[in-house]
Amino acid sequence: MPAQLTAALPSYSPAAKAAGGSSASCTASHFLSYPTRRLRNGVRAQVSTTETAEPAPAAPAKPVKISKKQDEGVVTNKYRPKEPYVGRCLLNTRLTGDNAPGETWHMVFSTEGEVPYREGQSIGVIADGEDKNGKPHKLRLYSIASSALGDFGDSKTVSLCVKRLVYTNDAGEVVKGVCSNFLCDLKPGSEVKITGPVGKEMLMPKDPNATIIMLATGTGIAPFRSFLWKMFFEQHEDYKFNGLAWLFLGVPTSDTLLYKEEFEKMVEIGGENFRLDFAVSREQTNAAGEKMYIQTRMAEYKEELWELLKKDNTYVYMCGLKGMEKGIDDIMVDLAAKDGIDWIDYKKQLKKAEQWNVEVY
């Protein structure tokens, strides 16, 4: 499918860096028959050898479930831990500011087109070195932060958004997450062992007119960056988004607003097709003086969101910290009850219809 990157990309974006600050362009490729059994000697029933028994009625065919998502030709587990793909780090840049609580990095790896992924999938990374038992480190899964074309638009790279894990344990010792620190410390040219791609839960809807509500906390923004690049930064012959994309991003401080410049550019490009809401918990409050978590921000639009959730072309995607789903349930329970609907049962129906998709950790 010929495709083209069309946006004037932010100056820090990988594609802009690769092209000296200019926009990037590219071309991208996407009845059972049983043998007749003879009767054994000794069977007492009289059987005619000149008549053919009528065949048993065929069992009704089970209806084939057709997915509402872009799952045609999706590849999974092409590369496994024993035989990973070895790519190279092309770019590793810090996203968060100096006053952010922790570091989050955006990194781009070469794949030469050998790791064919879709928006919403994940890859595994195996850190260099060995664990305390002398065995290779176990892989860690990360949501892919780039569209299938990749940040450079040539379908030969994959990008991740990774927060460096550093904490102090009960004994007062500073502990560093093995894989996150390995990734955040990578220098351009370094090799990276990649597995996957994996996952179908977070694939985009087929319907280009769908309403897609994206709920992210922190690095849970990764799959939605991949969605939104496809929607607003690229042109495809077989896909043009004409629906509503609504992103809610929750972070602790303004210095941790990941990809803010990109998303604001998408607002300019998308117009009425893109809505953007940030929730900055340590800096913002609602009218009642409560901290502005993602569910607090959503509560400001709760009636509108509930009306959207009653439509069969609305899809919710959630990625980030595990506790976020409960906060959203708390908003919807009372709204649904006003319409005589049990929210938990209704959410189960949405999940069955592929309209409620969750990837939390």
Counting residues of the chain whose pLDDT is more than 90, the rounded percentage is 72
Under DSSP, the state recorded for 70 is S
Q: Are residues 182 and 236 in the same domain?
A: no
Provide the annotated active-site residues: 142-143, 319, 359, 361
What pLDDT is attached to residue 142?
Answer: 97
Under DSSP, the state recorded for 181 is H
Q: How far apart are CA 180 and CA 46, in angstroms?
A: 76
> What confidence tier does 35 reach under pLDDT thresholds 50, 70, 90?
very low
Cis peptide before 223 (omega within 30 of 0): no
**Amino acid in the structure at residue 105:** W
- Contact in structure between 191 and 88 (CB atoms under 8 Å): yes
Q: For residue 282, is it within any domain?
A: yes
Which of 42-56, 58-72, 90-104, 181-195 is the most confident on average? Answer: 181-195
Q: Are residues 164 and 193 in the same domain?
A: yes
The CATH number covering residue 116 comes to 2.40.30.10
Smallest Cα–Cα separation from 114: which of 157, 152, 83, 147?
157
Q: Are residues 194 and 216 in the same domain?
A: no
What pLDDT is attached to residue 327?
Answer: 87
Q: For residue 68, is it within any domain?
A: no
pTM, two decimals, is 0.83
* 282 appears as a binding residue in the annotation: yes
* 320 appears as a binding residue in the annotation: yes
* 251 appears as a binding residue in the annotation: yes
b/e code 184-197 from CB counts within 10 Å (16+ = b): bebeeebebbbbbb
User: What is the mean pLDDT of the segment spanning 19-47?
Assistant: 38
Q: For residue 281, is it within any domain?
A: yes
Q: What is the pLDDT of residues 236-246, one digit of tens each?
A: 999 999 999 99
Q: What is the pLDDT of residues 124-160, one digit of tens each?
A: 999 999 998 999 999 999 999 999 999 999 999 999 9
Computed from CA positions of residues 5, 6, 10, 11, in that sequence, does the dihedral angle turn out positive or negative? positive
Q: Are residues 247 and 348 in the same domain?
A: yes
What pLDDT is attached to residue 16?
Answer: 55
Q: Are residues 174 and 240 in the same domain?
A: no
The CATH number covering residue 234 comes to 3.40.50.80
Q: For residue 46, is it within any domain?
A: no
Q: Are residues 239 and 348 in the same domain?
A: yes
Q: Are residues 156 and 256 in the same domain?
A: no
Q: For residue 2, is it within any domain?
A: no
Counting residues of the chain whose pLDDT is more than 70, the rounded percentage is 82
What pLDDT is attached to residue 24?
Answer: 40
Mean residue pLDDT of the chain comes to 86
Q: Are residues 272 and 231 in the same domain?
A: yes
* 291 appears as a binding residue in the annotation: yes
Last residue of a domain, one of 147, 176, 198: 198
Q: Are residues 111 and 151 in the same domain?
A: yes
**Is the pLDDT confidence value at 32 over 60?**
no
Count of domains for the chain? 2
Q: Are residues 343 and 250 in the same domain?
A: yes
> What confidence tier does 192 reach under pLDDT thresholds 50, 70, 90?
very high
Q: What is the pLDDT of residues 302-334, one digit of tens each?
A: 999 999 999 999 999 999 988 888 888 999 999
250 CB-contact burial (10 Å; exposed 0-12 / middle 13-18 / buried 19+): buried
Q: Are residues 294 and 254 in the same domain?
A: yes
Q: Are residues 181 and 313 in the same domain?
A: no
Q: For residue 181, is it within any domain?
A: yes
Q: For residue 314, is it within any domain?
A: yes
Q: How far apart are CA 19 and CA 155, in angstroms?
A: 16
Smallest Cα–Cα separation from 149: which of 57, 275, 289, 15?
15
Place of tokens 């009289």: 46
What pLDDT is attached to residue 22?
Answer: 39
Q: What is the pLDDT of residues 196-235, one digit of tens each?
A: 999 999 999 999 999 999 999 999 999 999 999 999 999 9
* 146 appears as a binding residue in the annotation: no
The range of the structural domain enclosing residue 253 comes to 211-360
- Find all residues with CB under 8 Å of 100, minimum gap 6, and list them: 252, 253, 255, 256
